[in-house]
Amino acid sequence: MVEVDRIMVKELHVPVELMMEHAGLNLARLAIRLSGVKPIEYLVVAGSGNNGGGGLAAARRLQNWNLSVEVWLPKGEDALRSIPMEQLNRAKEAGVTIYEGEPKASKGPEVCILDAYVGYGYSRRNDSVTSEVFSYLAEHSNVISLDAPSGLDVTTGVSENGLSPRATLTLAFPKIGLLRALEKTSDALYVADIGVPSSIYKDRLGIAWSSPFDLVSLSKLDRAFAEDAIQQVEISYVEAEGVHFWDIK
């Protein structure tokens, strides 16, 4: 996956920020899908790297959809790298509530925690902040992890903290360590489309990868216009100065 990222950025000129936006959008959508009709508060635990940036992008999306969301930055704002810092600023402008320090659960009817602390780049580390975050995440059952559960080695499948989230949304491709970890748990694994062409896996890495992504969201949108939405708007045909168009109010 390190090589996939390199090809995307250096050869295809797809910026990390764009892939991060795709990751955040997919995470926000999955969180809503798994929440069902229950009243939910979303709590994003964001690390200082790109995984945290994806979590911040997801928080902004949830805020834009008028849902209750807050972000916790265990290592504080000053620790954020440049691109995640841009995501933080966007989240602030969108009205997302930001806290620094060890995360604390909200007092809402139910909380869905989005684990965006560290992704596939995790390596064993000894610092008190990370230990506190790992303990916090392990105490909650309704956790959705971005790319990989924080603390998991995505090659070996060994977890430093034993975190077993409700679901993991991995990015672009299922990492072998995730598959190994799933053999021991009943967690759900989802794969998000962040714009990586399937040809990269086949032609450059020699991996047969049949992309699972489809156009379901577009077909749903089409049906919405055909069935429900069109009944809620006033549509009239207008002709003015030789220009023909539909006027939708």
Instruction: Give mean pLDDT, residues 71-78.
Output: 97
CATH number (domain holding residue 145): 3.40.50.10260
201 and 240 fall within a common domain: no
Residue 65 carries which side chain, given as an amino acid letter? W
75 and 196 fall within a common domain: yes
Q: What is the pLDDT of residue 120?
A: 85
58 and 21 fall within a common domain: yes
245 and 186 fall within a common domain: no
Nearest in space to 21 (alpha carbons), one of 67, 78, 49, 60? 60
Q: Are 119 and 58 in contact (CB under 8 A)?
A: no
161 and 246 fall within a common domain: no
Q: What is the pLDDT of residue 43?
A: 96
223 and 154 fall within a common domain: no
222 pLDDT higher than 80: no
Q: What is the pLDDT of residue 227?
A: 55
Q: Higher-confidence residue: 199 or 210?
A: 199
Q: What is the pLDDT of residue 219?
A: 57
139 and 102 fall within a common domain: yes
| Burial status of residue 217 (CB atoms within 10 A of its CB: 0-12, 13-18, 19 or more) | exposed
- Over residues 149-193, the pLDDT tens digits come to 998 988 888 888 878 899 999 999 988 888 888 877 667 899 999
Q: Are 171 and 23 in contact (CB under 8 A)?
A: yes
Least confident range from 51-65, 202-216, 223-237: namely 223-237
116 and 99 fall within a common domain: yes
Q: What is the mean pLDDT of the chain?
A: 85
6 and 127 fall within a common domain: yes
Q: What is the pLDDT of residue 209?
A: 78
**Number of structural domains found in the chain:** 2
* pTM for the whole structure: 0.84
Instruction: Give mean pLDDT, residues 121-147.
Output: 88
220 pLDDT higher than 70: no
Q: Higher-confidence residue: 84 or 213?
A: 84
- Over residues 9-65, the pLDDT tens digits come to 999 999 999 999 999 999 999 999 998 767 689 999 999 999 999 999 999 999 999
161 and 231 fall within a common domain: no
- Domain residue limits at 132: 2-211
**What is the percentage of the chain residues whose pLDDT exceeds 90?**
55
What SS3 class is residue 51?
helix
Structure tokens at 189: 């694994």
65 and 26 fall within a common domain: yes
186 and 116 fall within a common domain: yes
